[in-house]
Chains A and B, each alone.
Chain A
Amino acid sequence: MGGRQSSVAEERPRSNSVDTAQVSARHRPNVMTAAELMQTMRNARILSSSSDSNGSEDDAGPSAIHGARQIRGMNIRAGRIHSQHSRRSVPVFMMDMKCPVCHKVVPSDDADIHLVMCLTRPKITYNDDVLKEDKGECSICLEDLLAGNCIARLPCLCIYHKQCIDDWFKRKNCCPEHPGDD
């Protein structure tokens, strides 16, 4: 029993730091590591900076620094993904990766393309409006959307109280009723 407990503790990174994620990844060589994620990001950054600047080294400099900052951010989040998945009894990570940006599970073969798409995708925005007539129930708070209420119109044409959708967007940038559209 004691032996089992210690192995569980070993697999669970205690913090989100890069080192912890890499150490625990060493136990499972097929797992996508934070380092691989970093390399993916670096490749993507190099590609985009060279095409933006037509290969000029002067221009590539600052964007490379910017890229490094992004990579550090990704590393931290990569550690967190790893810790979430190590709770499961099967290393699903061998086949899938949970995107740190949109939280979708994607096959690791597509992970690099998916990450780049996710990081460059524009955020969903909405138009503010003041309702001129009652419009039924807000599906976030279940209160009525009344004439005079300040509302948000999303690209999918869904409407919510502005305050309600602002609260949700702090957690996830997608329509509560059309999460696949993000």
Chain B
Amino acid sequence: MAGALPRRIIKETQRLLADPVPGISANPDESNARYFHVMIAGPDESPFAGGVFKLELFLPEEYPMAAPKVRFMTKIYHPNIDKLGRICLDILKDKWSPALQIRTVLLSIQALLSAPNPEDPLATDVAEQWKTNEAEAIKTAKQWTLAYAQA
């Protein structure tokens, strides 16, 4: 049995809906207020520009003492995101702090799309391609964006 929804979650949800982050939408599920349907627009100047990426975000029972669980639902060619959509981002793991919020987490993911980091890879094959032939990697990322990330 889930307890009552903490006031912090209600507050964050209200603020996200009233004052959304540019290029990001996050809407709570009708049947579960801890589950959010997220859309992130690929940042301009990145290989993901023009794409719309669907993510799921879940606030665990321990939130905000534990990080939200976030996953890409849309296929994406990125060195820090694997085939299952799992994201390699420090603030979702050991660098989590309760002063962070859904808003800041989604902003960080948006920033990760602008700045892929092949030195700390999750998808090793993608990271390898990114390091050895960046032009080709960017080309593939653009192709995937066109093929899979169209709204």
Q: Is the interface of A mostly helix, strand, loop or mixed?
A: loop
Q: Which of A57-65, A67-75, A108-116, A140-148 interfaces with chain B?
A: A140-148
**Looking at the complex, which one of A88, A164, A170, A179 makes contact with B97 (CB distance below 8 Å)?**
A179
Within 8 A of B (CB), among A81-132: 88-90, 98, 103-105
> A167 at the A/B interface (Cβ < 8 Å)?
yes
Q: What count of chain B residues pass the 8 Å CB interface test?
A: 16
**Looking at the complex, which one of B7, B66, B94, B122 makes contact with A142 (CB distance below 8 Å)?**
B7
> In the complex, are the beta carbons of A103 and B124 less than 8 A apart?
no
- Measured between beta carbons, the chain A residues less than 8 angstroms from B12 are 142
**Looking at the complex, which one of B94, B99, B121 makes contact with A98 (CB distance below 8 Å)?**
B94
**Looking at the complex, which one of A88, A89, A104, A176 makes contact with B98 (CB distance below 8 Å)?**
A176
Shortest distance from the beta carbon of B121 to any chain A beta carbon, whole Å? 7
> B8 at the A/B interface (Cβ < 8 Å)?
yes
Specify which of B7, B99, B121, B124 lies most central, judged by the most chain A CB atoms within 10 Å of its CB: B99
> 1/0 per residue B1-14: CB within 8 Å of A?
00000111001100
> In the complex, are the beta carbons of B94 and A103 less than 8 A apart?
yes
Within 8 A of B (CB), among A157-180: 164, 167-168, 170-171, 174, 176-177, 179
Distance between Cα atoms of A141 and B6 in the complex (Å): 9
> A139 at the A/B interface (Cβ < 8 Å)?
yes
> B147 at the A/B interface (Cβ < 8 Å)?
no
Distance between Cα atoms of A76 and B12 in the complex (Å): 38
The answer to whether residues A142 and B121 also contact, given A171-B65, A176-B98, A179-B97 and a CB cut-off of 8 A, is no
23 A-B residue contacts at CB 8 Å? Answer: A88-B122, A90-B124, A98-B94, A103-B94, A105-B94, A140-B98, A141-B7, A141-B8, A142-B8, A142-B11, A142-B12, A164-B98, A168-B65, A168-B98, A170-B65, A171-B66, A174-B97, A176-B97, A176-B99, A177-B97, A177-B99, A179-B95, A179-B97
> In the complex, are the beta carbons of A143 and B7 less than 8 A apart?
yes
Distance between Cα atoms of A173 and B28 in the complex (Å): 32
> In the complex, are the beta carbons of B64 and A90 less than 8 A apart?
no
> In the complex, are the beta carbons of B65 and A90 less than 8 A apart?
no
**Looking at the complex, which one of A103, A105, A139 makes contact with B99 (CB distance below 8 Å)?**
A139
Query: Size class of A's contact patch?
Result: 20 to 34
Distance between Cα atoms of A105 and B95 in the complex (Å): 11
Specify which of A140, A142, A170, A174 lies most central, judged by the most chain B CB atoms within 10 Å of its CB: A142
Shortest distance from the beta carbon of A26 to any chain B beta carbon, whole Å? 23
> In the complex, are the beta carbons of B7 and A90 less than 8 A apart?
no
- Measured between beta carbons, the chain B residues less than 8 angstroms from A176 are 97-99
> 1/0 per residue B64-89: CB within 8 Å of A?
11100000000000000000000000
- Measured between beta carbons, the chain B residues less than 8 angstroms from A104 are 94
Q: Would you list the 3 A-B pairs with minimal beta carbon distance, nearest first? A: A176-B99, A103-B94, A176-B97
> In the complex, are the beta carbons of B124 and A89 less than 8 A apart?
yes
- Measured between beta carbons, the chain A residues less than 8 angstroms from B98 are 139-140, 164, 168, 176
Within 8 A of A (CB), among B86-119: 94-95, 97-99
